[in-house]
Amino acid sequence: MLDEETPVIYGLEFQARALAAQLAETEAVRFYVGTQSLKFDNQVHRLELDEENNMIKREVFHHGDGEIWHISASPTDKNVISTVYNHISPEKSCTKHTAVWRTSDEMNPTTEIRNLKLLTKLNTSSMGDDIKCTHFHPTEENKLLTVVDGTFAIWDLNAAGGSCDATTKGAIEGKGQPKFSTAKWNPHQGKSHVATANDMFIRGWDTRTNQEAWLIESAHNQLVRDIDFNPNKQYFLASCGDDGNSKFWDIRKTKVPVVTRADHSHWVWCVRFNHFHDQLVLTSSTDSRVILLSAASISSEPFGHIVEEESANEDKPVPLKDGVLALYEEHEDSVYAVEWSSGDPWTFASLSYDGRLIINQVPKSEKYKLLL
């Protein structure tokens, strides 16, 4: 059995900032990582944690089209991923693209580097240059969301083969050509809503009408880097940004955050709710730290809910309080991404710019507090 206090470290040869959990996989702990190099051929690594030997098994795919800025995995098909990448032409000009790829079948312990099969290239040329991310719809396998500059687009892969055009588009208007920094599907409200972030604002959109549903003005003092919906409790949203804060919002009351945390000392790049125990929240920052937060006060699991009658007589486990549960300092460079595993609710991976991937676990003591 894996010693939970010891992290497993995997080093990539290149710098990297794209990380995704293989969402369709619910047994094994698996992650996709995309590299970022301007000079060498880029790769997608599929990594599996071998808990028996405390090692990482890997599979490598060529991603020759350019450096990967964002990667996401299909929630239904284990072998389908999407990437946002920067393509450099021989004339030394850069263009960003986004595409859906198929990897090979099941984990294969070969060491040879295989190729990805291009499924669809999403046509963003009409929308702008700077593609930030492409996300699969949480349940519908053929739906995707992409943000480009000040536009978000929704794709339906079924509608057309090969190169495909957006079925829906929405855009913000404002002074100085505002650009989205990220976007997310809202897993609630019929899964037809998305949320976007631009500068200091977070907006909710209804994709059926492409109208703004709600708006959080000055969510952060500076740029909002990432947002994440609580997967189990609707209306609740986490955000993080360049002011070093992580904030939790109830999107029905957008004036003030429900909880504000300032645990990092520089930009917070990523925030993620645990899908099973949503009081556990991970944040990663350019201060090279990953922090495991408890947001128990706004969790979908109310205090004492899990405490049964019998255990009430025994030493009652103290319900989790809000605050920092654990601080992970194994990284030496900025940590741009952190993801929970879809296979094991207590495991997560974090990726720093120097190509170091670290798989960590929730500390045992905190785990028991939640389970008992």
Partner 1 sequence: MGERSSEAAAMDLDAHNFNSELYIQTVLKKCTLREVMEKEAHIIRDTQTLHSDMQTLVYENYNKFISASDTIKKMTSDFKEMEAEMDLLAANMNSIANFSDQISTTLHDTRQKLTQLSSVHTTLQKVQFLFRLPHTLKQNKEEGSLSLAVQNYTRALGTLKIYSHNVSFSSIHKECDEIMEGVKDQLFGQLSSKQATPKELGECVELLLSLGEPAPVLCLKFLQHASERQNEQLQGMEEHLRVGDQDVIEFLDVGSNDFLSDICLNVATYNELFAKKCQIEEGDDPSALLDNFVHEAMDKYLQLVKRKVEDEQAPGTEATVLVRALDRFYRRLQAASTLLPGPNYSKYGMEVVVQAGHRQSQTHLKNMQAHFVELLSNVRQTLAAPKLSLTVEEEKRNPSSSNLPELLNTLVAGSVDKIKSCLQDLKLFLQSDLTFSLKQVFRSKFCCSVREGFVVAFIKFLMDTATGFCVPQTPPTLLLLLSKMCLEMESSTVNFLLSQTDEEFCVEDSAKGTTRLVLCKQLHESAQKLLDYFVRTQGLNLSQMLRKSVETRDWLSTPEPRTVRAVMKRVVEDVAAIEVQVGSLYEQGIQQERSSDSSRRTQRKRTNWYAPSQIDSTLASNLQKLFSERIEIFSCVDFSTVSIMTGIIKISLKTLLECVRLRTFGKFGLQQIQVDTHYLQMYLWRFVENENLVHFLLDEILGSTVHRCLDPVLMEPSVVEMICERG
- Binding residues (CB under 8 A) for partner 1: these are 14-15, 38-39, 86, 88, 92-94, 221-223, 242-244, 265-267, 286-288, 332, 334, 353-354
The encoded tokens of residue 358 equal 């670290």
Q: How far is the CB of 218 from partner 1 (least distance, A)?
A: 9
Nearer to partner 1, 164 or 335 (CB): 335
Q: Sign of the CA dihedral 345, 17, 243, 135? A: negative
Q: Which residues contact 78 (CB under 8 A, 6 or more apart)?
A: 22, 24, 25, 106
Q: How far is the CB of 296 from partner 1 (least distance, A)?
A: 24
Q: How far is the CB of 330 from partner 1 (least distance, A)?
A: 13
Task: Tell me the CA distances in angstroms from 234 to 61, 325, 341, 363, one per residue in order.
Answer: 37, 24, 21, 27
Nearer to partner 1, 209 or 221 (CB): 221
Distance CA 147, CA 196 (A): 8
Nearer to partner 1, 249 or 273 (CB): 249
Distance CA 124, CA 116 (A): 21
Q: How far apart are the first and last CA of the chain?
A: 21
Q: How far is the CB of 28 from partner 1 (least distance, A)?
A: 30
The residue type of 27 is E
Nearer to partner 1, 92 or 175 (CB): 92
Nearer to partner 1, 9 or 94 (CB): 94
User: Which of 36, 82, 48, 60 has the alpha carbon at shortest distance from 334?
Assistant: 36
Residue 80 C-beta-side C-alpha neighbours within 13 Å: 18
The residue type of 226 is D
310: three-class secondary structure by DSSP? helix
Q: How far is the CB of 352 from partner 1 (least distance, A)?
A: 12
Nearer to partner 1, 217 or 332 (CB): 332
Q: How far is the CB of 221 from partner 1 (least distance, A)?
A: 5
